[in-house]
A and B are shown apart, each in its own frame.
Chain A
Amino acid sequence: MSAHSVADPIPADHEGGFDLHRTRKTGMWVFLGSECIFFGAMISTFLLYRNTTADGPGAELFDVAFTSASSFVLLMSSLTMVLAHNAFERRDIRQARIWLTGTALLGATFLAGQIFEFTEFVHAGLTMSTSPFGSSFYMLTGFHGAHVAIGVMMLTAMVILSTSGRLHHDRGLNVELVGLYWHFVDIVWIVIFTIVYLLQV
């Protein structure tokens, strides 16, 4: 049976009477739903203040070409992530490790791009205290970057664990769950990139 409705009680033939993996995925998905509000509030603040530049620099600082490149990098890291999960499901730990490493590296590259971009902007006179625009821009992209950094940490941890055969299906640190988190961070960036960079109305 693959189509379960929300109303079905769980089958009681797993240890402890419930399917832990399903339970964990439920927890992760509802958490990601909650994160939509988190980023939604920051995006709203940015939209409110997008033109409140207080005589400081504004969106003219953006280098859309550069940011497109780093967006592409992050988008491809979602590919490597899903390939890592696919390899793990096929019990090909070595392949999984390669793709996990690739994902972490692409994520780190994205972060490097962000840091480079921020330093350029700071030199050009846009800081958190320049204007409400500056505050909301850095907070939104900064929090996103922090999420990416946490993701890179988890990915690195999994790479290290996989070298000693300690990457298990049934632990909290789990390829599929980290994958869901990672993809989410990617789609948040899709929204941010569109609204902040592409739609400089």
Chain B
Amino acid sequence: MTAVAAPLTQDGRSGIWGWITTVDHKRIGILYGVTAFTFFLIGGIEALLVRTQLAQADGTLLSAEAYNQLFTMHGLTMVFLVVMPTASAFTNYFLPIMLGARDVAFPRLNAFSYWLFLFAGLMIYTSFFAGGAPDGAWVGYAPLSGQITEAVRMDFWSVGLQLLGVASIVSSANFVATCFTMRAPGMTMLRMPVFAWMSLVVAFLLLFSLPSVAIGLFQLFLDRNFGALFYEAAAGADPLLWQHLFWIFGHPEVYVLVLPAMGIVSEVLPVFSRKPLFGYEFVVFSGVAIGFIGFGVWSHHMFTSGMGPVAEAGFGVATMIIAIPTGVKIFNWIGTTWGGRLNMSTPMLFSLGFIAMFVIGGLSGITHAVVPSDYQQHDTYYVVGHFHYVLFGGAIFGYVAGVYYWFPKWTGRMLDERIGKIHFWLMLLGFNLTFGPMHILGLNGMPRRTYRYPEGLGFEFWNLMATIGSYIIGISLLFFIWNIIRSRRNGTLSGSDPWDGRTLEWSIPSPPPEHNFDEVPLVRSLDDFWHTKYAEDEQGRAVRIPAVTGAEIDVFAEEEGEAHGDIHMPSPSYYPALSALGLVILGYGFVYLSFGWIAVAVGGVVALWGLFGWSLEPVTRSEHH
């Protein structure tokens, strides 16, 4: 069996217990990735059911009740259980390596974030068997979400999202501390790879946006279960408060979803154009600018809520402004490929696909920024088309590019190029066939979030096309899965640097050892690894430096006592998984409040046991090899 992850930990733990107690960022990255991909398939099935229902007028496959649960869970799954954890998977695996570090700042906290994500995601899914899944849309607008009384569906939703939020917040604090305090000697902030920068911006976005929705969710929970009146219009409250608190989180959230994918594209394009990234500083600072401005546009999701012309104009203008840094990135990516010797392998195809699809999505986004136009587009399929172009054609294409690019690093083997190209073209075709027509449907008046449409409104043809497109996407994913399974077993061996890469992850073996670097690198420039391989001749062309052994190149920092055998890695621990389990049990107690006090007590005890054990154990218990 090909070893996908690092070999045995220092403690010699293997098997399931090794995975449960791991604090190795690479293993945690793989856990996130595999879990996210599984949820992706589940969310995809939910989408296929929705699309099948809508393929014809007056569809009869799903009742309204079932439909509402499926589209709600599709949205929730894709946003919180697929795209965010996928970004986390890449950040977890590569951020430390790109920075020349051996792990993240808080390895056990890192593990805790994963286990909390897994257990909370599973918890939300158990709602299907416990009276029904959440059905108030992934955005859960009050007052509806406060009034849904079927079983405890919306409590699974609010409690589950809280737990997922906790996982993201602590993970973000982890990545911020890592970026600011654990870079290798010589790696200034402006020598970090773009992917590392985007991960840092995303961490800040989450840290400063999640608390807003956390409060909204608590308020909703209190309204539903303790008779609070935060969103009760009859008592003089304003349900619009929910929308504000939600979208203050929700808008930065969409940049959380797409910025890491933009980071990946910024890594892939230079390598496959054999040119440095054009305008590195511009790409970095435009990412930071998107992060900042992203906090100032949230009410563009609320143009039709009656805020008044001043608010609408303000948020409309801000939304247009945010197109500028986005455009800066696009132009810099074009500048990167322009004049390069392009290697059109699958990672490059998906990256170019990202740019094209994201631009289309961005253009429809601009039309949303025009307030009177948005009045017509809001709550129609036009919006559904827009966000799938940026989130699927954008973010997901970018993450798939990352999988094709970095699969060799995780496994030591290449993914198959022919199957990859079939995957790409089928997915591109299916994707555009599914979501392109939605712009037409929306402008023709088809509303979203409705379980069926009657005959005679002219919606039939494009809905059928969209459904066919969704099945083509499904088929393309089968090729993807086949590619992964086949290549893990029989893929061409890749070596450490199959793409002639530029960044530090290509300087270590594939897969990397637990401690990442035998010796901590001394970083002298941006794309430092590239500069250890190539010098420039008088005409500025790259000239390969003859391969030398490590003893001859002075690329490694000298550290006393840091010879290979003396590296102390953090020890495995079961406290993170235990604490996460305790919190989720606590969560069940809050969902089932009427008789859930036992779960609250048990969960509380387990969580406290985990947290105290964790805070009292030393980070490293192991001796030298």
Contact = CB atoms under 8 A, between A and B. Distances in A.
Interface of A: 6-13, 15-20, 22-24, 26-27, 30-31, 33-35, 37-38, 40-42, 45, 48-49, 52, 54, 128-132, 134-136, 139, 143, 157, 161, 166, 170-173
Contact of B211 (A13, A38, A132, A170): A38
B520 A17 contact: yes
Contacts of B464: none
Contacts of A38: 211, 214-215
B557 interface: yes
A22 B237 CA distance: 45
B236 interface: yes
A136 B183 contact: no
A30 B178 CA distance: 12
Nearest to B214: A38
Contacts of B106: 23-24, 27
Interface in B123-181: 169, 172-174, 176-178, 180-181
B236 A132 contact: yes
B594 interface: no
B229 A131 contact: yes
A12 B181 contact: no
Nearest to B226: A128
B218 A131 contact: no
Contact of A27 (B173, B189, B236): B173
Contacts of A22: 181
B188 to A, nearest CB: 5
B182 A132 contact: no
B520 A12 contact: yes
A192 B308 CA distance: 30
B211 A34 contact: yes
A33 B230 contact: no
Contacts of B222: 128, 135, 139
B181 A45 contact: no
In the A-B complex, the 10 residue pairs with the closest CB atoms? A129-B227, A38-B211, A172-B615, A41-B215, A37-B211, A135-B228, A173-B615, A27-B177, A132-B237, A34-B207
Interface of B: 101-102, 105-106, 169, 172-174, 176-178, 180-190, 207-212, 214-216, 218-219, 222-223, 226-230, 232, 235-238, 241, 245, 248, 520, 523, 557, 559-560, 562, 567-568, 612, 614-620
Nearest to B522: A12
A78 to B, nearest CB: 22
Given A12-B557, A18-B182, A45-B219, A26 B176 contact: yes
Contacts of A41: 211-212, 214-216, 245, 248
B229 A10 contact: no
Contacts of A10: 181-183, 185
Contacts, number: 162
A139 B220 CA distance: 12
A139 B230 CA distance: 10
Given A9-B185, A30-B173, A171 B618 contact: yes
A17 B102 contact: yes
Contacts of A34: 169, 172-173, 207-208, 210-211
Contacts of A9: 183-188, 523
A48 B568 contact: no
Contacts of A172: 614-616
Contacts of B523: 9
A20 B619 contact: yes
Given A17-B520, A49-B237, A54-B235, A129 B228 contact: yes
23 contacts: A9-B184, A9-B188, A10-B181, A10-B182, A11-B185, A12-B520, A20-B619, A23-B182, A24-B177, A30-B172, A30-B176, A34-B172, A35-B211, A37-B208, A37-B212, A45-B241, A48-B238, A54-B235, A135-B222, A135-B223, A135-B228, A135-B237, A171-B617
Contacts of A17: 101-102, 182, 184, 520, 559, 562
A103 B479 CA distance: 62
A26 B181 contact: yes
Interface of A is mostly: helix
Contacts of A166: 616
Given A41-B211, A54-B229, A143-B218, 17 more contacts: A6-B189, A9-B188, A10-B183, A17-B182, A20-B619, A26-B105, A27-B177, A30-B172, A31-B169, A31-B173, A33-B208, A48-B238, A54-B236, A129-B226, A131-B235, A139-B218, A139-B230
Contacts of B238: 48
A108 B392 CA distance: 51
Contact of A42 (B173, B215, B520): B215
A173 B616 contact: yes
A54 to B, nearest CB: 5
A27 B207 CA distance: 11
A139 to B, nearest CB: 7
Nearest to B181: A23
Contacts of B223: 135
B222 to A, nearest CB: 7
Contacts of B177: 23-24, 26-27, 30
A52 B208 CA distance: 28
A157 B26 CA distance: 33
Nearest to A9: B183
A12 B208 contact: no
The interface centre, meaning the residue of A23, A136, A161 with most chain B CB atoms within 10 A of its CB, is A23
Contacts of B236: 49, 52, 54, 131-132
A6 B215 contact: no
Contacts of B210: 34
A51 B565 CA distance: 67
A172 B559 CA distance: 26
A13 B520 CA distance: 11
A125 to B, nearest CB: 14
Nearest to B248: A41
Contacts of B173: 27, 30-31, 34
Contacts of B562: 17
The interface centre, meaning the residue of B187, B219, B620 with most chain A CB atoms within 10 A of its CB, is B219
A168 B33 CA distance: 36
A100 B457 CA distance: 72
Contacts of B212: 37, 41
A127 B238 CA distance: 19
Given A23-B182, A132-B235, A157-B612, A7 B619 contact: no
Contacts of A42: 215
A26 B109 CA distance: 14
A84 B219 CA distance: 37
Contacts of B616: 161, 166, 171-173
Nearest to B570: A16
A31 to B, nearest CB: 5
B105 A27 contact: yes
A40 to B, nearest CB: 8
B235 A52 contact: yes
A128 B190 contact: no
A135 B222 CA distance: 9
Nearest to A134: B229
B40 to A, nearest CB: 28
B559 A171 contact: no
Contact of A16 (B219, B241, B568, B618): B568
Given A7-B190, A10-B181, A54-B236, A30 B207 contact: yes
Contacts of A40: 211
